[in-house]
Amino acid sequence: MSISTTVQQQVSVLLVDDDARFRQGLQTLLQFYNTTNDQRFTVIGEAASVEQAVHLAAEQHPMLILLDMELATGDGIAALTELLKLEQRSQILVLSGHQEDEWVFRAMRAGANGYVVKDDLATQLFKAMETVLSNQIYLSPELATRFFQTFRFYNGQVSEAKSKLHLTEREQEVLHWLVQGASNEEIAAHLFISVATVKAHLTAIFSKLGVASRTQAIIKTLKMGLVGC
């Protein structure tokens, strides 16, 4: 779907930000776009928390969600993770006051369709919305360059860590399900192996990670970036 080619297309939008003044500013900006383009943006709800955002998205099925990365009752990554679990998916464009590499990397890695720094909204928001509504990823050239630099850095770290730990492919699979919170029985079912084999793999994994419990293994795994968040 392209904003520039869809005449009078209505786009439902959910605003997620705990700053009411900023949400009002977005409303004003979207109304301006409505008067200068064929596209029509309709705000179907506003949320200030993760819970409100998920509830409204599940109820209203917005085409586009404009999501802040810092909310009073949880960060944007938590909101993003929950929103992506919904049966009817929306395009999610992150609007953030942060332009540090780590923030951009975390948001895009978690599944955002695009990222715009709040200071750049006036020049980038319409193009960003047009891009994500066309099922494409939006990052400004500067952010895209920094994102891929960060990606290469973390990818190199992960590869080095895996190499040093000498985790087998099966151990990495067990570790993946462990981080997801699966029990030994559930891991066995997912991988079509016996519970005894799962326990043997966990013993080897704990030894290689230098930990003594499932919780310690999960924490160290996430810190090292051995599996996706």
Establish if 35 belongs to a structural domain: yes
Establish if 195 belongs to a structural domain: yes
Residue 153's pLDDT band (boundaries 50, 70, 90)? Answer: low
Centroid of chain to Cα 195: 33
Same-domain check for residues 24 and 56: yes
Same-domain check for residues 111 and 27: yes
The DSSP element (H or E) to which 75 belongs, if any, is strand 74-75
Identify which has the larger pLDDT, 197 or 109. 197
Q: What is the mean pLDDT of residues 30-39?
A: 90
CATH of residue 178's domain is: 1.10.10.10
Same-domain check for residues 79 and 175: no
Q: What domain count does the chain have?
A: 2
**What does the alpha-carbon distance between residue 27 and residue 13 come to, in Å, rounded to a whole number?**
10
Same-domain check for residues 86 and 130: yes
Same-domain check for residues 29 and 138: yes
Are the C-beta atoms of 175 and 205 separated by less than 8 Å? yes
Establish if 105 belongs to a structural domain: yes
The DSSP element (H or E) to which 40 belongs, if any, is strand 40-47
pLDDT of residue 110: 82
Establish if 3 belongs to a structural domain: no
In DSSP notation, 102-128 reads: HHHHHHHHHT-SEEEEGGGHHHHHHHH
Same-domain check for residues 135 and 177: no
Establish if 184 belongs to a structural domain: yes
Q: What is the mean pLDDT of residues 122-150?
A: 84
Same-domain check for residues 143 and 43: yes
Amino acid at 127: K
Identify which has the larger pLDDT, 133 or 179. 133
pLDDT of residue 130: 92
Q: Which residues touch 155 (CB under 8 Å, ≥6 apart)?
A: none
pLDDT of residue 157: 59
| End position of a domain, from candidates 97, 120, 147 | 147
Same-domain check for residues 203 and 128: no
CATH of residue 71's domain is: 3.40.50.2300
**What does the alpha-carbon distance between residue 218 and residue 181 come to, in Å, rounded to a whole number?**
9
Q: And the tokens for 228?
A: 């996706």
Identify which has the larger pLDDT, 5 or 128. 128
pLDDT tens sequence across 116-133: 999 999 999 999 999 999
pLDDT of residue 229: 44
Checking if the pLDDT of 45 tops 50, the result is yes
Q: At what angle do helices 50-60 and 76-83 cross, to 10 degrees?
A: 30
In DSSP notation, 140-159 reads: -HHHHHHHHHHHHHHHHHHH
| End position of a domain, from candidates 117, 147, 177 | 147
- Residue ranges making up the domain that contains 91: 10-147
Checking if the pLDDT of 22 tops 80, the result is yes
Checking if the pLDDT of 141 tops 90, the result is no
